[in-house]
Amino acid sequence: MVRKLLVKSFIGIVLIILYLPIVWMIVFSFTDTPSFSGWNGFSFQNYIDLFTGQGSNSARIQEAIVNTLFVGVFTSLLSTILGTLGAIGLHAFRSKRIKAAYSTVNQIPMINSEIVTAIALALVFNLFASTLQISGGTWAETAFKLILAHTSYCAPYVLLNVLPRLQKADNKVYEAALDLGCTPAKAMFKVVLPDIMPGIVIGGLLAFTLSIDDFVITKVNVTSFETLSTLLYGLKSGKHPLPPDIRALFSIIFFIVFVLIMIIYSPKKKSEQKA
């Protein structure tokens, strides 16, 4: 079958091009040349430097990791709580108009251009800062600002992951729990939450991944707060933009993201992939 071979090589070539820069970076994370050429012997030195803090960018890397994880974890928590509650509430509404209004607002952060979302959020934060008489520039204020900003576009993804679970769950069990004397809150924890837990977990993971990956919204809304993305951006104009310890760091991150994505996609059937 010539056709089959042609198709396979076409798909193969596109995949090779997609992965080439990433693989090239991972390969060169095992040697200490300044650029992506001129192999200088295989070693784990970059990784050792990364963990012992001996690399040329160690201080910045540590700061960026702490900041990124802090914002990512709290964004994920807040998005998961808001998105799950929102999904349960939305599911209870019968009115088509309310449902349509919700889904429109929900779609805005997903389809709007990132730079526009970022500028719009910056305007709102300016407004809050001037009404509340705060500078908005301290570490805690910036972190809080970023958590709110990231949550505004991560929570809709959580909602969209929880909603299908609610639609599949049997509402009669919840009503039976109420009939048998449960308070609504208790029935919620004992009946509804276990039913939709897979959607909540996947939504939370997704929010975390989206948050740690974000660049545009972060860059526009911070002045001196380093995350992994702004760290990368800061290195872009150097002569060799991806120094050895950065390559080691992002090779590790690649593997973590790869595993997370496999978890997010694997337990689901084709019909209900992400949103």
Partner 1 sequence: MFKKLLATPYALFMALFVILPIIMIAVYAFTDAEGALDLIGNFQDLAKEPALGKVIKNSIIAGLSTAVICLLIGYPIAYYLTKAEFNRTGVLIGLFLVPMWVNFLLRMMSTKAVFTVLGIPMGMGTVIFGLCYEFLPFMIMPIYTTIQKIDKSFIEGANDLGATPTKAFWKITVPLSLPGVLSGLTMVIIPSITTFAVTEILSNGKLMLLGDFIYSLKAYNLNMASAISLALMILLGISMIITNRFNKDSEKGGGLW
DSSP-derived secondary structure letter, 189: I
Q: Which residue's CB is nearer to partner 1, number 52 or number 95?
A: 95
- Beta-sheet strands, E only, within 122-256: none
Which residue's CB is nearer to partner 1, number 49 or number 78? 78
Rounded Cα gap, residues 245 and 173, in angstroms: 54
Name the CA radius of gyration of the chain, rounded.
Answer: 23
CB-wise, 17 or 140, nearer to partner 1? 17
Q: CB of 76: closest distance to partner 1 in angstroms?
A: 15
For 55, which DSSP code?
A: S
d(C-alpha 92, C-alpha 94), whole Å: 6
Q: What number of residues does the chain have? A: 275
To partner 1, the closest distance from the beta carbon of 220 in angstroms equals 6
DSSP string, 98-117: HHHHHHHHHHHHHHS-HHHH
Minimum CB separation of residue 195 from partner 1 in Å reads 13
Residue 172 CB, nearest distance to partner 1 (Å)? 14
Which residue lies nearer to partner 1 by CB, 140 or 262? Answer: 262
